[in-house]
């Protein structure tokens, strides 16, 4: 503990120390005036400031720029963009005097139905982690902290405050924790916000394993943990587990419980002192930085930044030729979202937007020949016949119909989950009717998460803007008319229908528990393992130009445990327009290890290329890239053998494949006793020689060679049976000699294994 902090703590009363462990109000930590400890203000959120106005209610926040929400910024697949976004929000936060921005929100999108998916980044932990780290580094470069949230496994809104997310340790480690791990290791966030839910029956905020053993001891987190708002159940248990700050406040009730626990000896005062030290460390760091001059708040400039970013986040999902629009074309915009885009979601991340740009305003400002028909309202599923027909007629008379579709606000928000994955029927119907009379039909989507698109094969183009922030309309205009190049990629799979999704049978659970029975098979890991068709796969996104990959190579064919290998590939823009390609690198385990998804994203890079230009991209692979979390070994492990390095445009468009051989001296523990299967012993290089020599003597007696082609037990069946046969079968089937040889065999097998693994 630094001396000045220890000195401060020594001057604090027990009540002051306990008091510091909860908020002063909804948005501030407590000050201790007599010791010069200031109050620090925190505010949402991930894609713009929701900073409450002095003396007003929680729904009255200052005017701020609403940047693309997490669903959209993740689609940029661009760490530089996330860093710039963080810098911009960080500078705004500093300008208004904030200490911590409550974000990024990086929970994994387990089901497309989660009401809060619009705030989250991805179904893939590597993508979510790398983007979060970049955002955090950006914000914190401005002298303001972050609070990556919600730690951890908070993947639904239904009963979020009392529901237990139940899963295996492997699933937690491989899918739900790595994004936080990457964020902590690469960006050292000042704080972390623990989630509302329980994990395997223990509140996340009371889990010593999560908040101390993993977060601090394993990953090296050195900030403080705060609770999500109202997430505290047992305050003293939380403090012991590693939650330093309760937010917002509990009217002093929980502070008194801390005082009482110290007094009656159930809470060592040293635990409280450590928590206070961690809090002061950050609050005083912020106070020092806050003394430096703050930048000017320039919302007009930041609005332009938001517009440029929204264009980089849009995903061109399909284009059979209608895009980009040509200057002289007669175009009709249909759908209320053309005039009033949906660009953010509801709940704690809701920004009081500074200005909103619609695509229609943008088109008119540029003098484009665009007619507008509302077609349907944006806030409900309601078909008005006259308006519907007007839209169809206008579409027929135009050269191109652009339909602005999307989810009404009430369909997705913090606090509840969606019940289905459909757009309002009025929108689906109108899209099909328009497509029937107009071959150049384009659908622009404003949605925070995937929707079923039953009309996809009927329309020419689909452009997904996600929830692109307040300037989304300007970005849509630029993309539609080719003034900007589409370069986003899907950070999540778009399934054909809800019933195809991995946790369809288990989401959102029974109100008490959510069983994560799909395990590590989340998103593309599931669709690929099941070889299922999807509407658009993870990583997919088109451009107005084309790219080819060449000269993919590894710096070495073999890698060992502590080594690394460089992967290089050259990407060329083969089209006539500039563009950006996202090079994606996946790993496939070919070693025969059970339970591994067919491929997993490990690296990605976005490259800008002029027409005809080519660039080399390189990635460094280490053992962790090949590894899975092995519960038996209590850590990350990759088996010796071959791995395929897949490099491509998307999870389902992989032009380059390379084979990497990996070798490690580590072996999974093998217990040898009478119930160990012979197949396991034959497959393990350490015990195989002993086992093979025994089978030379007794294999026939054990049925290894079968009884010939027409026999009841063929040779193949014999081998299969032997594979699963426990050693004790030597006595049952091998005859007296084999029975007598069993003790010696057990001893020889144990001798072949290291001490720790061969205990009886």
Q: Is the peptide bond before 45 cis (omega within 30 degrees of 0)?
A: yes
- Kindly compute the dihedral angle of the four CA atoms of residues 110, 113, 119, 124, in this order, to the nearest 10 degrees: 20
Q: Rounded to the nearest whole angstrom, what is the least distance from the CB of residue 92 to ligand BGC in the complex?
A: 17
229 is an interface residue for ligand BGC by CB under 6 A: yes
How many residues belong to the chain? 760
Using CB under 6 A, which residues numbered 320 to 349 contact ligand BGC?
Answer: 348
Position of minimal CB gap to ligand BGC: 348
Buried b (16+ CB within 10 A) or exposed e, 581-601: bbbbbbbbbeeeeeebbbbbb
Nearer to ligand BGC, 36 or 415 (CB): 415
Coil/strand/helix, residue 223: coil
Let me know if 680 is a catalytic residue: no
Q: Rounded to the nearest whole angstrom, what is the least distance from the CB of residue 154 to ligand BGC in the complex?
A: 8
Nearer to ligand BGC, 58 or 740 (CB): 58
Nearest to 688 by CA among 698, 697, 678: 678
Distance between the two ends of the chain, CA-based, in angstroms? 46
Q: Rounded to the nearest whole angstrom, what is the least distance from the CB of residue 52 to ligand BGC in the complex?
A: 10
| Phi, psi angle pair for 403, to nearest 5° | -100, 125
For the beta carbon of residue 498, count every other beta carbon within 10 angstroms.
19
Nearer to ligand BGC, 192 or 569 (CB): 192
Sort residue 230 into left (φ over 0), alpha (ψ -120 to 50) or beta.
Answer: left
Nearer to ligand BGC, 229 or 416 (CB): 229
131 burial (CB, 10 Å; 0-12 / 13-18 / 19+) is buried
Q: Rounded to the nearest whole angstrom, what is the least distance from the CB of residue 165 to ligand BGC in the complex?
A: 15
Site size for ligand BGC (CB under 6 A): 7
416 is an interface residue for ligand BGC by CB under 6 A: no
Nearer to ligand BGC, 26 or 504 (CB): 26
Contact 229, 45 (CB under 8 A): no
166-205 mask for ligand BGC (x: CB under 6 A)? Answer: ----------------------------------------
Nearer to ligand BGC, 18 or 102 (CB): 102
Q: How far is residue 687's CA from residue 749's CA, in Å, rounded to a whole number?
A: 6
Nearer to ligand BGC, 159 or 652 (CB): 159
The CA–CA distances, whole Å, from 594 to 327, 598, 636 equal 56, 11, 15
Q: Rounded to the nearest whole angstrom, what is the least distance from the CB of residue 85 to ligand BGC in the complex?
A: 17
462 burial (CB, 10 Å; 0-12 / 13-18 / 19+) is buried
Nearer to ligand BGC, 158 or 593 (CB): 158
Q: How far is residue 71's CA from residue 68's CA, in Å, rounded to a whole number?
A: 8
The residue within the footprint of ligand BGC, chosen from 92, 157, 228, 244 (CB under 6 A), is: 228
Using CB under 6 A, which residues numbered 100 to 119 contact ligand BGC?
Answer: 102
Q: How far is residue 623's CA from residue 561's CA, in Å, rounded to a whole number?
A: 6
Nearer to ligand BGC, 51 or 447 (CB): 51
Sort residue 36 into left (φ over 0), alpha (ψ -120 to 50) or beta.
Answer: left
Nearer to ligand BGC, 192 or 401 (CB): 192
The residue within the footprint of ligand BGC, chosen from 17, 149, 422, 535 (CB under 6 A), is: 149
246 is an interface residue for ligand BGC by CB under 6 A: no
Contact 636, 629 (CB under 8 A): yes
Per the residue annotation, which of 44, 78, 228, 684 is the catalytic one? 228
Nearer to ligand BGC, 130 or 228 (CB): 228
- Kindly compute the dihedral angle of the four CA atoms of residues 486, 330, 304, 308, in this order, to the nearest 10 degrees: 0
87 is an interface residue for ligand BGC by CB under 6 A: no
345-384 mask for ligand BGC (x: CB under 6 A)? Answer: ---x------------------------------------
Coil/strand/helix, residue 551: strand
Sort residue 318 into left (φ over 0), alpha (ψ -120 to 50) or beta.
Answer: beta
Q: How far is residue 214's CA from residue 147's CA, in Å, rounded to a whole number?
A: 17
Contact 337, 373 (CB under 8 A): no
Name the residue with tokens 């502590």. Answer: 562
Q: Which helix (H) or strand (E) holds 722?
A: helix 715-724
Q: What is the DSSP string of 618-645?
A: EEEEEHHHH-EEETTTTEEE--SEEEEE
Contact 396, 435 (CB under 8 A): no
Q: How far is residue 253's CA from residue 250's CA, in Å, rounded to a whole number?
A: 6
3-state secondary structure 224-267: EEEECCCCCCCHHHHHHHCCCEECCCCCCHHHHHHHHHHHCCCC
Here the tokens at position 55 are 């003396």
Here the tokens at position 719 are 């081998």
To 5 degrees, how large is the angle CA 613–CA 617–CA 618?
165
165 strand-pairing partners: 199, 514
Distinct helix (H) and strand (E) counts, the chain: 23, 27
44 is an interface residue for ligand BGC by CB under 6 A: yes
The CA–CA distances, whole Å, from 348 to 57, 93, 103, 641 equal 13, 16, 11, 48
- Residues annotated catalytic, as ranges: 228
Which residues of this chain interact with ligand BGC, rule CB under 6 A?
44-45, 102, 149, 228-229, 348
């Amino acid at each position: 503990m630094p001396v000045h902090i220890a000195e401060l703590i020594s001057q604090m009363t027990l009540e002051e120390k306990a008091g510091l462990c909860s908020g002063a109000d909804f948005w501030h930590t407590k000050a201790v005036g007599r010791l010069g400890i200031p109050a620090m203000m925190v505010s949402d959120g991930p894609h713009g400031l929701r900073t409450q106005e002095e003396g007003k209610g929680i729904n009255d926040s200052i005017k701020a720029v609403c940047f693309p929400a997490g669903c959209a910024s993740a689609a940029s697949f661009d760490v530089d963009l996330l860093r710039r976004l963080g810098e911009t929000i960080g500078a705004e936060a500093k300008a208004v005097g904030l200490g911590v921005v409550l974000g990024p929100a990086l929970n994994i999108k387990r089901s497309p139905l989660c009401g809060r998916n619009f705030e989250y980044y991805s179904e893939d932990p590597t993508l979510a982690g790398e983007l979060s780290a970049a955002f955090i580094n950006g914000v914190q470069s401005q002298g303001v902290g972050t609070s990556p949230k919600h730690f951890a496994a908070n993947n639904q809104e239904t009963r979020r405050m009392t529901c237990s997310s139940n899963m295996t340790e492997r699933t937690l480690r491989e899918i739900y924790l790595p994004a936080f791990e990457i964020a902590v290791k690469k960006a050292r966030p000042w704080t972390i916000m623990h989630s509302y839910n329980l994990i395997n029956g223990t509140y996340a905020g009371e889990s010593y394993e999560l908040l101390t053993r993993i977060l601090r001891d394993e990953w090296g987190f050195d900030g403080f943990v705060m609770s999500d708002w109202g997430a505290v159940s047992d305050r003293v248990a939380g403090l012991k587990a590693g939650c330093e700050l309760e937010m917002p406040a509990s009217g002093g009730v929980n502070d008194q419980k801390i005082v009482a626990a110290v007094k009656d000896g159930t809470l060592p005062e040293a635990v409280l002192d450590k928590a206070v030290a961690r809090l002061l460390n950050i609050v005083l760091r912020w106070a020092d930085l806050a003394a430096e001059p703050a930048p000017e708040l320039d919302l007009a400039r930041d609005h332009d930044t938001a517009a440029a970013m929204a264009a980089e986040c849009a995903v061109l999902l399909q284009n059979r030729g209608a895009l980009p629009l040509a200057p002289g074309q007669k175009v009709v915009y249909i759908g209320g979202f053309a005039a009033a885009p949906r660009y953010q979601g509801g709940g704690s991340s809701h920004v009081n937007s500074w200005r909103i740009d619609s695509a229609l305003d943008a088109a008119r400002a540029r003098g484009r020949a665009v007619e507008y028909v509302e077609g349907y309202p944006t806030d409900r599923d309601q078909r008005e016949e006259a308006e519907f027909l007007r839209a169809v007629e206008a579409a027929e008379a135009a050269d191109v119909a652009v339909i602005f579709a999307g989810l009404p606000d009430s369909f997705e928000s913090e606090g509840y989950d969606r019940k289905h994955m459909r757009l309002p029927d009025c929108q689906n119907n109108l899209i099909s009717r328009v497509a029937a009379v107009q071959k150049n039909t384009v659908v622009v989507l404003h949605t925070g998460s995937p929707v079923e698109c039953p009309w996809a094969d009927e329309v020419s183009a689909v452009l997904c803007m996600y929830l692109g922030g307040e300037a989304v309309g300007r970005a849509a205009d630029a993309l539609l008319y080719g003034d900007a190049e589409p370069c986003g990629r899907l950070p999540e799979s778009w399934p054909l229908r809800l019933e195809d999704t991995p946790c369809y049978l288990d989401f959102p659970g029974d109100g008490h528990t959510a069983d994560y029975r799909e395990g590590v098979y989340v998103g593309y890991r599931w669709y690929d393992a099941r070889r299922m068709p999807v509407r658009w796969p993870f990583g997919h996104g088109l451009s107005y130009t084309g790219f080819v990959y060449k000269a993919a190579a590894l710096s070495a064919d073999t890698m060992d445990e502590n080594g690394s290998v460089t992967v290089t590939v050259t990407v060329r823009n083969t089209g006539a327009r500039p563009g950006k390609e996202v090079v994606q690198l996946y790993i496939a385990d070919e070693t025969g290890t059970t339970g591994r998804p067919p491929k997993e994203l490990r690296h990605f890079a976005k490259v800008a290329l002029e027409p005809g230009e080519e660039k080399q991209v390189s990635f460094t692979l280490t053992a962790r890239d090949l590894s899975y979390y092995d519960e038996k070994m209590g850590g990350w492990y990759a088996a010796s053998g071959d791995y395929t390095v897949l490099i491509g445009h998307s999870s389902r468009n992989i032009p380059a494949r390379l084979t990497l051989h990996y070798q490690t001296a580590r072996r999974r523990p093998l217990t040898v006793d009478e119930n160990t299967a012979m197949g396991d012993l034959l497959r393990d290089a350490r015990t195989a020689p002993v086992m093979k020599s025994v089978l030379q003597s007794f294999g026939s007696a054990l049925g290894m060679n079968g009884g010939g082609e027409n026999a009841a037990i063929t040779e193949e069946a014999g081998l299969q049976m032997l594979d699963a046969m426990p050693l004790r079968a030597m006595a049952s089937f091998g005859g007296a000699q084999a029975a007598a040889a069993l003790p010696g065999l057990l001893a020889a097998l144990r001798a072949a294994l290291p001490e720790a693994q061969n205990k009886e």
